[in-house]
Structure 1
Amino acid sequence: MATPALDLLLGPEGPNVLGAAVAEYGARLEELRPAEVNVDPSGAAIVMYVGEVCRADGTRTTEFLGATTGSRIPAGAAVVAGEYGGEPVEVGIWAWPRDPALPALPTASDPVLMAELFREFGLSDAEALDVRPRSYLPSRHAVLEVSDGRFQWFTKVVQPSAVADLRHRHDIACRDVPVPPVLAATPEGVIVMPGAKGAPLRTLIVDGDAALPSPEALESVLDALPAGLLALDREPSHLPMVDYYAGVLRCVAADEPTVLTRLAEVVEGLHAVEAHTEEVVPVHGDFHEAQLFADDGRVTAVLDIDAAGPGERSDEWATMLAHLSALALETTGRGRETADGYAAAILAHAERRVPAIQLRARSAAALLGLATGPFRLRHPRWPERTIAVLDRAMTWLARAK
């Protein structure tokens, strides 16, 4: 590993460090599995674990645990300090739902407290709600599915400082695009939205049987993004992010020379691409199949508009094409055929709308950004999977010439 802290968190000593987090609550850590790892080029990391925890009364539960290093340690985390590999190391730790960066998470994950909050919102009169975690990025955000038996909602828990901005984005976009409206929010970080209609587009692609939205249908969603998004801060394009993406991969693959060799080839190819700016338009910022719901060929919901704002249309198509390329590597049979076929149809459409060479180069850059995915999700053969993603990026680069 590139840093002692990351080596510590993912190595055999990790359970000893994380055991301190659950011991604070009178419990004992029985098993620990790193489930997701996010790393900066500096080596600072956020690790989400799934742990088997034994409570004082003898009951066993499966729980999320979080650990952070370096600049990622949030205020309020319990910090374990010591030496590892001859260097000083500090690790911030906590057990779900007591994420110090997400103070609303304990309330949002409690069926009774959430029911009380929903009664205040006027959304439900239930005494308790069914609350199920769907995704969690420690210290960043959590998404929970909430139901009272009749209706379903999704609750997003964010840092308090992010509430006003995220609500503003939804208020702007939901008038013109099927972005879920914000039904209620608290200053502490709870944001409630209705459940999405249809099924995740990613699921439809993997299943390989359902009608998918046409490229024209996807473009109509992009065209409908409102001009009000242009007043928001702009996120960087894929090509200027190449060195950042590469820095992350060099950090996690420091002991994998084959990965580093292939990475160098991709970076060299991307640096040789001459970037051209395009017209600035409203963009989603992370437009891909996992962010869309669909039904009978129609886009029924557009999720996660945290990065929406001004940008270039090529990046929207490139993000979609890169994700479909990566999805094809993850699936087999009908799902792979569907992903590749869908990507080919979108590419043919998009190349008539934006400069083809730029589109292909940006798709390669976006794939580079996805190349840490196998490590991030702790795939047992992550070096081989990473090389496969980098090979796809090289294919896109070859098409850009």
Structure 2
Amino acid sequence: MSAGSFGPFLEAELTGLLAGGVSNTQYRIASATLHDVQFRAGHYYGIAEAVVHHEGGVGQTYFGMTTAPVPPTSHGQTTHHLGYQVFVWEHPQDPMLPGLGLAATPAKVQRYFAPQRELTSLQTVVYRPLNRAVFKAHLAPQQPAGLGDTIYLKVLRPDTATALYNIHLRLSAAGVPVVAPITKPVDDVLALAGGQGMPLGELVRVEGVHNHFDPRRLIGILDRFPRQVMDYPHRPSWADRHQEFIYSARQAMPADDERIAHLGYQLERAHEGLELGPLVPTHGDLYEAHILVHQGTGRIQQLLDVDGAGPGFRVDDYACLIGHLAVLGQNEQQNWGWQTAMRFFNQLASYTNPYALAVRSAAMVVSLIPSHQPDAQAQARGRAYLHIAEGLLAMAWS
């Protein structure tokens, strides 16, 4: 995979790829721009914006693409290239996210989730094709000169929204500070209240390494996760999938192939007989953007995104936080992300296996290396993340 490509397709071939995969005869695709490429479990997923000509003039639309298999009833077209089978669909007809059309349509959002309020804006926060999406909806104030409200809409795969709704209720009842659902899910879309507090990453950026946050406060909150969480499916952690992400990095960074392959070999060696501790209830995706804190005291106010809650290893929750922090501000002279990650590592090391914490933190960073590096900025970020992963792994050997 070269810079600016989608799997076997170069970006220059993108317009032809979309044209071959679109059944709408009412318009013609004039050009297309690749906005994002993700690589998960051996398959590519992409998002493209296209300029289209139709009877009314010129417009824009978005398309999703994937090399992954899709249900036979999916709306879209299949095209082939160099032995790859690529399925293309027009947004919002995602084959695995039937609720995407609801969450992306302002009138429907207002009807189902805020019938007595005025919806002033609706923005896409995250979209992972065939996996999940998050939208941010802002509501006008209820009183003159008052403050508006923000709600978040999670678009989930079929038959999973109710389970996530119940997870929020169960964690809240156990004293875990999670955000509250607005109502029961509608068509695989779960609406959640906006969280209270500042994202931890923003606090660290503003205050630097000597910030008010103490990561040991997480221990008591994680201890509150109820035992019923152990009944949820056990999912591989990001660190468990390190060889998948090593492969993705090698495809995205061919000039660094030997170096990345060596890192993958070292990670594999480091995982031999690695002692991760007992299986316990875990958050599953505990990084700085999912931890909201009080700006003045740094105390935890809420945890977000508990979709991955289930049985796992406590060291992986810590490693997820440290790995994400380590890459923040990597292009700034102060290097505040790495310094804070080192401080948190030292504060948490005595509560877990420090060797495992270093190894799993390094594996976490590998998962963050961009699989799409179309420009010099993305390529520089990829090299920086590679260097950070090597640094964390070196801590395990020291």
With structure 1 as the length reference, what TM-score do the two structures score? 0.85
Task: Tell me how far apart the structure 1 counterparts of residues 375 and 301 of structure 2 sit (CA, whole Å).
Answer: 32
1:55/1:294 CA distance change after superposition, 3 Å = farther
1:161 corresponds, among 156, 159, 166, to 159
CA shift, 1:174, in A, is 2.5
Query: For residues 226-237 of structure 1, what are the structure 2 equivalents within 5 Å?
Result: 226-237=226-237
Indicate which of 253, 256, 281 corresponds to 1:259: 256
Q: Return closer, same or farther for 1:204/1:53 CA change in 2, 3 Å cut-off.
A: farther
Point out where structure 2 has 5 or more consecutive residues left out of the alignment: 142-148
Distance 2:26 2:201 in 1: 41
* Aligned residue type for 2:103: A
**Structure 1 runs of 4+ with >6 Å offset:** none
Q: 1:148 aligns with which of 107, 124, 139?
A: 139
Please tell me whether the aligned partners of residues 22 and 88 of structure 2 are also in contact (alpha carbons under 8 angstroms). Answer: no
* Partner residue of 2:391 out of 378, 385, 395: 395
The gaps in structure 1 that reach 5 residues or longer are none
Mean Cα displacement is larger for which, 211-220 or 347-356?
Answer: 211-220
CA contact (8 A) 1:285 1:307 kept: yes
Which residue identity lines up with residue 277 of structure 2 in the other structure? Answer: E
| More divergent stretch after superposition (292-301 vs 188-197) | 292-301
Contact 2:112 2:186 (8 Å CA) reproduced: no
Determine the structure 1 residue equivalent to 2:305.
304
| Structure 2 match to 1:269 | 266
- The reply on whether 1:39 has 2:34 as its aligned counterpart is no
For 1:342, the aligned partner's letter is T
- 8 A Cα contact 2:280 2:312, kept in partner: yes
Q: Give distance in 2, aligned partners of 1:282 and 1:389.
A: 29
Q: State the number of aligned residues.
A: 382
Distance 2:20 2:285 in 1: 37
Q: Distance in 2 between matches of 1:200 and 1:53?
A: 39
Q: How far did residue 110 of structure 1 move? A: 1.6
Aligned counterpart, 1:98: 93
Question: How far has the Cα of 1:235 moved from its partner?
Answer: 2.1
Q: In structure 1, what is the equivalent of residue 146 of structure 2?
A: none
Separation (CA, whole Å) in 2 of partners of 1:343 and 1:93: 40
How do residues 19-30 of structure 1 correspond to structure 2 at under 5 angstroms? 19=19, 24=24, 26-30=26-30
Q: Distance in 1 between matches of 2:217 and 2:248?
A: 35
Cα shift readout 1:340-399 (whole Å, capped 9, x = no counterpart):
23212211111121121111111112122222x2x3364545454333322222222221
What does residue 135 of structure 1 align with? Answer: 126
Say whether residues 1:14 and 2:11 are aligned partners: no
- Secondary structure of 1:219's aligned partner: helix
Q: Distance in 2 between the 1:166 and 1:114 partners?
A: 19
Distance 1:114 1:20, change over 3 A: farther
1:369 matched to 2:367: yes
Alpha-carbon separation, structure 1, partners of 2:70 and 2:382: 25
Counterpart of 2:396 in structure 1: which amino acid?
Answer: A
Q: Distance in 2 between matches of 1:319 and 1:204?
A: 18
Distance in 2 (alpha carbons) for counterparts of 1:363 and 1:383: 21
Q: TM-score normalized by structure 2? A: 0.85
Query: What is aligned with 1:243?
Result: 243
What is the alpha-carbon distance in structure 2 between the residues aligned to residue 237 and residue 73 of structure 1?
26
* Residue-by-residue CA offset, 1:126-172 (whole Å, 9 max, x unaligned): 46553222221112111111133022211111122222222222222
**Correspondence 1:200-239 to 2 at 5 A:** 200-208=199-207, 211-237=211-237
Find the residue that maps to 2:159 and give its secondary structure.
helix
Report the AA paired with residue 206 of structure 1. Answer: R
| Alignment-mate amino acid for residue 310 of structure 2 | G
For the residues of structure 1 that align with 2:274 and 2:310, how far apart are their CA atoms? 20
Deviates more, 1:12-21 or 1:359-368: 12-21
Shift of 1:22: 6.9
For residue 198 of structure 1, report the CA deviation from its aligned partner: 1.9
